[in-house]
Amino acid sequence: MNKNSAIAGKKILFIAPNFFGYELKIKAKMEQLGASVAYYDVRSVSSAFDRSILKVFPNIFKKRTKTYYNEILKANKSVDYDYVFIIKCDMISIHILNEMKSIFKNAKFYLYLWDSIKNVPGITNKLSFFSKVLSFDRNDVKKHENIGFYPLFYIDELEKDKSYLAENKLKYDICFFGTIHSDRYRIIKEIKNYCAMNNYSFYTFLYLQSNFIYWFYKFTKREFASTKFKDFNYEKLSGNSISQIVKESGVVLDIEHPKQTGLTMRTFEVIGMEKKLITTNKDIVNYDFYNPNNILVIPRKGISIPKDFLAIEYEPLDVDIYQKYSIGNWIQGIFTE
């Protein structure tokens, strides 16, 4: 146990989305810092098909969700939790929050938003249940005085492998991994064409949650009209596979959702691995790690990528900045009074 930790000896009920395994990394790090943690998926559905249905019809699983949370509360009602820590809170109703507050009377309720308020329907009506609310989105923080600004993190496994480049050559100039949503596919197509015209090698892993989502986009999004089913991936890539391809790439591409200004998890992974970044997120220039030699901001249309940017070597950041955005420091900050 880390006796100097803010959560050493504390009991935490942790409820968060299943998001590429990050929820389990957070749980493991909290336990490493000395906490006793019970984790549950914030969503009552787990299959790829159900999650894709949920994306299109957000209210379809209300009855199942009520039953799901009743079972969670029944299983934990005898535990005297110090904290109820929730990420996103998209499927937890106000009724369920009231039940939680009545059962866990001694617990402090904390909420972290790693999505923008516009993407979480009804979330503003739930904020009053929490004694601390933090968000990764600077614009949301400006609009809501009861929300604190708190960026994301990188996990320990994505710290730079300093021996790799000494023994290997890069395979790709640019790489992209991500779920296809909003206008991401259109932007990636434009970048792919630009790279082909300029002899840049470009690795892409384009993820869709299910076959259903592909066909839904096929008939509702103009840019999907000429796509084929095989153009996309329907199984998630492992963290180790992502890490390996990033090692083999000079630059990582990041495309944030157009409704958010918060920096994505991918941005902080790049910090940990000491890789250069191309991003559509203009707000990145306001962060302490911004360096134009390491980070290129591009528009969502009319994209160009200067060869000089690809050729310049990465400039290491101060050690304090790497520490600041580590998962351990992120968790300590969440629970520091």
Question: What is the per-residue pLDDT for 1?
Answer: 55
Q: What single letter denotes the amino acid at residue 36?
A: S
Question: What is the per-residue pLDDT for 161?
Answer: 56
Residue of 149, 161, 144, 178 whose CA lies nearest to 264: 178
DSSP 149: E
Residue 134 and residue 147 in contact, taking contact as beta carbons nearer than 8 Å: yes
Do 134 and 256 reside in the same domain of the chain?
no
Q: How many CB atoms lie within 10 A of CB 80?
A: 9
Provide the β-strand partners of residue 177: 205
Question: Which positions ≥6 away from 22 have C-beta within 8 Å?
Answer: 155, 265
Do 243 and 286 reside in the same domain of the chain?
yes
Do 79 and 218 reside in the same domain of the chain?
no
Question: What is the per-residue pLDDT for 54?
Answer: 63
Q: How many CB atoms lie within 10 A of CB 299?
A: 10
Question: Which positions ≥6 away from 265 have C-beta within 8 Å?
Answer: 22, 114, 152, 154
Q: Which helix (H) or strand (E) holds 112?
A: strand 108-113
Question: What is the per-residue pLDDT for 50?
Answer: 63
Residue after which a domain boundary falls, among 107, 131, 150: 150
Do 15 and 120 reside in the same domain of the chain?
yes
SS3 label, residue 119: helix
Residue after which a domain boundary falls, among 150, 184, 215: 150
Do 44 and 123 reside in the same domain of the chain?
yes
Do 95 and 186 reside in the same domain of the chain?
no
Pairing state of beta strands 148-149 and 132-135? parallel
In a domain, 329, yes or no: no
62's tokens: 């209300």
pLDDT in tens, the chain (337 residues): 566 789 999 999 999 998 878 999 999 999 999 999 999 999 877 666 666 666 656 676 778 889 999 999 999 999 999 999 999 998 899 999 999 999 999 999 999 999 999 988 899 999 999 999 999 999 999 999 999 999 999 988 766 555 555 456 789 999 999 999 889 999 999 999 999 999 999 999 999 988 988 999 999 999 999 999 999 999 988 877 888 888 899 999 999 988 889 999 989 989 988 999 999 999 999 999 999 999 999 999 999 999 999 999 999 999 999 999 999 999 999 999 7
Residue of 104, 116, 108 whose CA lies nearest to 147: 116
SS3 label, residue 124: helix
Do 55 and 97 reside in the same domain of the chain?
yes
CATH number at residue 87: 3.40.50.2300
pTM of the model: 0.87
Do 111 and 32 reside in the same domain of the chain?
yes
* Ramachandran class of 89: left when φ > 0, alpha when ψ lies in -120 to 50, beta otherwise: left
In a domain, 331, yes or no: no
Domain that holds residue 89: 11-150
Q: How far is CA 194 from CA 5, 189, 273, 276, in A?
A: 48, 9, 26, 18
Distance CA(271)–CA(317), nearest Å, equals 9
Question: What is the per-residue pLDDT for 62?
Answer: 78
Cα-based torsion angle of the residue sequence 310, 292, 326, 236 in order, rounded to the nearest 10 degrees = -40
- Count structural domains, the chain: 2
In a domain, 335, yes or no: no
Do 131 and 224 reside in the same domain of the chain?
no
Question: What is the per-residue pLDDT for 163?
Answer: 52
